[in-house]
Amino acid sequence: MINPRSLIRALDKHWDAIERIVLLGRDQIAYERNDVLALMAKVYVHESVEQQVERLQQLVNAELLVEMSHSNTLQLNENVRQFVGSLLHEHELGLSDILKARIVDIKTGLEQLQQAVHDRDMSALQRGAVRIDNQLRQILQQLDQDTHAIQDIAERAKAADEKMPLAKRYREVLEAYDRYVQPMTELMDTGAGGSFYPLLEEAEKVLEALAQQLVIQGGLYSHQRLLRQIGFRVKELRQNGLLALKQCTNTLMPLREELRRHNRLSAAIGQLLGEVRKKGLRRTFSQQSLPVWRKERTVSVAIGPELLTLMEQVRHYQPKAVDFPELTAEDTHIQLEQVDEDAIREHLYKSLPLTDLMHWLTGHYGHYQDITLLRLYHTFIRLADVVAIPDPKETRIALKQVAIRLHSHTLTSL
């Protein structure tokens, strides 16, 4: 097992060589010792051959380079390759199927959150929230890595030999567009055909509803904050998802269109040259189409009768007067009541134990407003010297203005 501290020190000491080896890893799986020594001779110019051989042995001893089985070739440690590649933005293009799998896992996590809130299992709520947050962060990281990978593909295509045929020069561009950009465009469609953004909209609504439900039930602030943090992460992903896809498309589309235009132009020119070779220039092109001279002709523009009729109607347009109803001012604010809460609490202590708190409140204090009864109910179930246990069965109670469904609490004294 690699010692992390030794690994970091070895990376710092041999960073120049490791960086070049990672860049070479685009085209090679393993390296011969002579090839690595030749690379070190280019990097460490002022060192002798013995020092370069000693440096190569240090890379092997530090497990930055590992020997492949059944051969003497060397291979870069996978953990080192991923770590250095992430620092240098050397990433391989991801697959849209991986994103689809993460979407399925997010759906499962949302169902777990809803079930946890329904069962009031806060540990399950926290596990589901962390599960969704991990998937969201992985998707954000994948989109960032794919953006850098697309840019590398475009840069390699532009920097290739100009004498190379465009079909071969832009082969990687076409493969990236067909295997990544098109599937991701279908996946991230904001309409009914997509599955990514409808999921994010659903996740945002579910998280907001669950956070509001925890506020009503009196859940811990840390759990409410956890759900809101995931909601912020969902909003960030909604914003960055389309931005990353647009950047990838704008990077590859000009190169792809250049190849398509070149192919169409080459085919058209080749067909015309073949006809000229067989028939001759005069038989291939008519005399009028040859660019020898150009006839001048006058062009007049006139307004049609339909447009003149429409303009006449617009000139004589008269707006219709519409009478709107007068505004009615109504006081919709709820007036707060004067409640002797200390007397009600003293009455509660004398009535303990209670089998149904809400039924007791509506029976003795039903003349108060609905909001007052609900506030008293939530205050009494949190008294420090009272044990409140919710009833497993759900009951329905009609108040003055609304009817509510709840698991009414049973109160007993400590």
Q: Examine the fold and report which residue of 234, 250, 272 is the final residue of a domain before the chain moves on.
A: 272
Same domain membership, residue 107 and residue 59: no
- Helices and strands, counts by H and E, the chain: 17, 6
CA angle 338–340–342, rounded 5-degree value: 150
Same domain, 212 and 68: no
Average pLDDT, the chain: 77
Q: If you average pLDDT over residues 106-121, what whole number do you get?
A: 80
Taking the CA of residue 71 as centre, how many other CA atoms within 13 Å lie in the half-sphere pointing to its CB?
10
Residue 313 counted as domain residue: no
pLDDT band at 265 (very low <50, low <70, confident <90, very high): low
Residues 52 and 196 in one domain: no
- pLDDT at residue 374 greater than cutoff 80: yes
Highest mean pLDDT among 166-170, 187-191, 333-337, 410-414: 410-414
**pLDDT greater at residue 116 or residue 69:** 116
The neighbouring-strand residues paired with 74 are 31, 67
Regarding whether 80 and 124 lie in a shared domain, the answer is: no
Domain count, the chain: 3
Residues 31 and 139 in one domain: no
d(CA 316, CA 312): 7
For residue 360, what pLDDT is reported?
Answer: 92
- Expressed as residue numbers, the domain containing 22 is 4-88
**End residue of a domain, out of 272, 295, 310:** 272
Are 261 and 401 members of one domain?
A: no
End-to-end CA distance of the chain: 56
State whether 16 and 152 are in the same domain. Answer: no
CATH, residue 32: 1.10.10
- How far apart CA 412 and CA 414 sit, in angstroms, is 7
In a domain, 395, yes or no: yes
Tell me, yes or no, whether 65 and 110 share the same domain: no
**Does 331 map to a domain?**
no
Q: Does residue 290 lie in a domain region?
A: no
- 35 within a domain of the structure (yes/no): yes
- CB-CB contact of 406 with 395 (8 Å): yes
Q: Does residue 277 lie in a domain region?
A: no
Name the pLDDT band for 102 (thresholds 50, 70, 90): confident
Q: Give the model's pLDDT for residue 218.
A: 67
* Single residue among 88, 119, 153 that ends a domain in this structure: 88
pLDDT of residue 261: 67
For 32-56, what is each residue's pLDDT tens digit? 888 888 888 888 888 888 888 888 8
Q: Are the C-beta atoms of 108 and 124 separated by less than 8 Å?
A: no
Tokens at residue 307, please? 């447009």
285 falls within a domain = no
Q: 45-91, pLDDT tens digit by residue?
A: 888 888 888 888 888 888 788 877 767 788 777 777 777 776 766 55
Largest Cα–Cα separation, the chain: 115
